[in-house]
Amino acid sequence: MDELDRILSDLDLPVRVRQVELDAALGEILAEAVEADRDIPPFDRVCMDGYALRWDEWTAGRREFTVSGFSPAGAERHPGPLPGSCVEVMTGAPSPVGCDLVVRVEDAHPRGKAVLLDPSKVVRGQNLAWRGSDARAGKPLLEEGRRLGPAEIGVLASVGARLVPVRSRHQIRVVCTGDELVDVAKAPLAHQIRRSNDRFLTSALAARGQGAIPSTHLPDDPELLEAGLADLFGQADLLLVAGGVSASQRDFVPGVLEVLGCRCLVHGVAQKPGKPLWVGTGPRGQIVFALPGNPVAVAACFARYVLGLLHRHDPLIRSARLEAPITGLASMTRFVAAHLRDDGAGGVVARESPGNGSGDFLHLAGAEGFLEIPPGEGLVTGSAARFWPW
Ligand code: AMP
Ligand code: MG
């Protein structure tokens, strides 16, 4: 498994850039660093409603100031108070010329047309944010690769980024193979089952911000598999094939991938479920995961390896303490579907979701991912385990 991690760390999905409107940028990943287009704040900004005055007049002993003007937010910079006076200012206004502090309304006492200031509340520079004190023009504000949340969108708006360069979503395609599988819309015959792996994969990808991923069903027929996969190689950077990678005489996927010019990097991992996992690269360097079709194996391999790859820069893995012991396998890693809950003290507790093996997709509902139980006897109650959410 560590070997597979090493192999995967050498693989890269191509990064393509597109420009989106700022209003469509939420949740996207920034493709280029963004700098301050001017000083922030762009002028010496008043931070409190109050009175702006000159520090030198204060230090010369004046305590009572006539109010000789008003400067609201949104108005051009006020030319400054007359000698012996102050300017009433509003939060967000530029500091009047010559003023270097603001006394809050709460700390000033009206006296006719003047205000008397509370001496304990006067310090030079107070209640002003100097031009450029948050960032100088040209300072990098958001680095490439940052996922854009509300705060980042606010920063982008503040620097006038009407169009935002973001990483294009990866071109991912999902394929389910198997003659026994029918679409959800069709009534299955007695020997058939409804396809569910494709829905698991596409909805898990959508939940991770990958958008609507197309999926295809191909039969257990080498020629049709070859034609179908060849077509998808023309569209995909990342191909997820489910089913047909094990040892039966109808498991054609690895052979067909080879015929199509793929390079096998791994076929078989010491884990349960998901042992027959096949990983390789396609003719144009595409990344191919051929997942064993059992639904629990699909989910485990997806959470552990596919999301591991897609979230290389913002890993989803967590650590959780076991609520009850979980047995291990002598020479294989086990993946155990589990629910997580907060323990109320900053930690996370995991509870196994009991099921009937790797074909039992029912026990995945309600779980959020898999605990990784290293080879060996297992883990006792309270021990920490790695948890891979899907
Ligand atoms: P395979 O890896 O193709 O041998 O499939 C292993 C098991 O998973 C078989 O019992 C399949 O019927 C089942 N299976 C394969 N694909 C799906 C799917 N898309 N949805 C549900 N079960 C599947
Ligand atoms: Mg099959």
Is the pLDDT at 336 greater than 80? The verdict is yes
- Give the distance (Å) from ligand 1 centre to CA of residue 180: 8
Query: Closest ligand to 295 CA?
Result: 1
Ligand 1 site residues, Cβ closer than 6 angstroms: 176, 178, 180-181, 193, 195-198, 242-244, 246, 292-295, 359
Mutate to test the pocket of ligand 1, among 191, 192, 197, 302 (most ligand atoms within 8 A of CB): 197
Q: What is the pLDDT of residue 337?
A: 98
- What does the pLDDT read at residue 119? 86
**Distance between CA 288 and CA 262 in Å, rounded?**
8
Q: How far is the CA of 202 from the centre of ligand 2 (A)?
A: 19
Distance from Cα 28 to the centre of ligand 1, integer Å: 33
User: Looking at residue 120, what is its pLDDT?
Assistant: 87
Percent of the chain scored above 90 by pLDDT?
96
* 27-65: pLDDT as tens digits: 999 999 999 999 999 999 999 999 999 999 999 999 999
Q: pLDDT at position 52, please?
A: 98
Q: How far is the CA of 220 from the centre of ligand 2 (A)?
A: 7
Q: Pocket of ligand 1, candidates 181, 203, 360: which has the most ligand atoms within 8 Å of its Cβ, to mutate?
A: 181
Is pLDDT of 209 > 90? no
Query: Which of 177, 134, 142 minimizes the C-alpha distance to 291?
Result: 177
Nearest CA owner, ligand 1 atom 15: 293
pLDDT at 197 over 90: yes
Band (313; pLDDT cuts 50, 70, 90): confident
Distance between Cα 240 and ligand 2 center (Å): 14
Ligand nearest to the CA of 291: 1
Residue of minimum CA distance from atom 14 in ligand 1: 293
The confidence band for 328, taking pLDDT boundaries of 50, 70 and 90, is very high
Q: Which two tokens stand for residue 252?
A: 């054609």
Find the ligand nearest to 179 CA: 2
- pLDDT-based confidence at 277, cuts 50/70/90? very high
Question: What tens digit of pLDDT does each residue of 85-112 get?
Answer: 999 999 999 999 999 999 999 999 999 9
Cα 274 to averaged position of ligand 1 atoms, centre (Å): 12
